[in-house]
Amino acid sequence: MAKTVIIEEPGGPEVLKVVDREVGEPGPGEIRIRHEACGLNYIDVYQRTGLYKMEMPHALGMEAAGIVEAVGEGVTHLAPGDRAAYASAPPGAYCEARVMPATQVCPLPEAISFEDGAAMMLQGMTVQYLFHRTTPLGPGDTVLFHAAAGGVGLIACQWAKSEGIRLIGTAGTDEKCRLAEEHGADTCINYRDADWVQKVNELTDGKGVQAVMDGVGKDTFMGSLDCLAPLGMMMSFGNASGPVPPFEIATLGAKGSLKITRPTLFTHIADHETCQEMARMLMEKVGSGAVKIRVDQRFPLDQVAEAHRALEARKTTGSTILTV
């Protein structure tokens, strides 16, 4: 049996329930893993509220790290006793142990703690694909990154620095801005009380940025288009402030042949080899010290509702984990 967080209907944090569940044996292509820590991500909020639809009842959580207990037929990249971490569908990572598909589960080197493993897989592989698999970016380029002091944000600040890319961040308080700058953002703008679009244009001498990485959505989307250089790429990868409203596609032409994508990590890691390769690159960044994972909040698994409240209230910085 394993403590597992489920929801029976969409709603506020109060719908999160901790139940005991039978874990069972892995079938072909599956593993059984016992978790040491689970990661908390904004996608968990979208699934809980019903913004992203799921069949009910459903377990929640997309990321964790722990020890492999058993492997099913055909699983060759992991063995019982291995340390492992993952960002993986289907949801169900908020638990002590589970049986799950092995495709997206990756070996975790000794040098990376279970906490960091649980905190970094989803947010870190997201940064990997934003910088390396979405549009060509390299030294001399400037990107604008919203919510730069958050989980994905602090990894992105350090990643950009390590690649020689200038990152202009935004965040909701001056303290958060300082944190982003300490982690490698060239400058961070408080987008609550500054004319951030004008500021970005000043910081780029009116030229604009080559790419915007926008996980905030509704509140920042249109302004972000005004920060892009001609032919720039808008990566709209999340909706923490609400979904982006419909807009005229001709706007992209009028603003300078802009490009736009609405990517999801799970498309990028659907293929086993690609997922393992992306994870290896992330682990190298962390192993080399170029990217340090910052776990700023820890909640016991049965206080998961408190963890969701803190994330939605913008009270968190860096990554958050659930301890088991």
* Residues engaged in binding ligand NDP (CB under 6 A): 41-43, 122-123, 126, 147, 149-153, 171-172, 176, 215-216, 219, 237-241, 263-265, 311-312, 314, 316
Q: Which is nearer to ligand NDP, 91 or 153 (CB)?
A: 153
Cβ atoms of residues 212 and 132 within 8 Å: no
To ligand NDP, the closest distance from the beta carbon of 169 in angstroms equals: 9
To ligand NDP, the closest distance from the beta carbon of 77 in angstroms equals: 23
Whole-angstrom distance, CA of residue 307 vs CA of residue 15:
13
To ligand NDP, the closest distance from the beta carbon of 146 in angstroms equals: 7
To ligand NDP, the closest distance from the beta carbon of 297 in angstroms equals: 10
To ligand NDP, the closest distance from the beta carbon of 281 in angstroms equals: 16
Q: Which is nearer to ligand NDP, 166 or 308 (CB)?
A: 308
Q: Which is nearer to ligand NDP, 4 or 236 (CB)?
A: 236
Q: Which is nearer to ligand NDP, 176 or 308 (CB)?
A: 176
Q: Which is nearer to ligand NDP, 75 or 119 (CB)?
A: 119
To ligand NDP, the closest distance from the beta carbon of 88 in angstroms equals: 13
Phi and psi at 98, nearest 5°, equal -155, 160
* Peptide bond connecting 90 to the previous residue in cis, omega within 30 degrees of 0: yes
Q: Which is nearer to ligand NDP, 298 or 314 (CB)?
A: 314
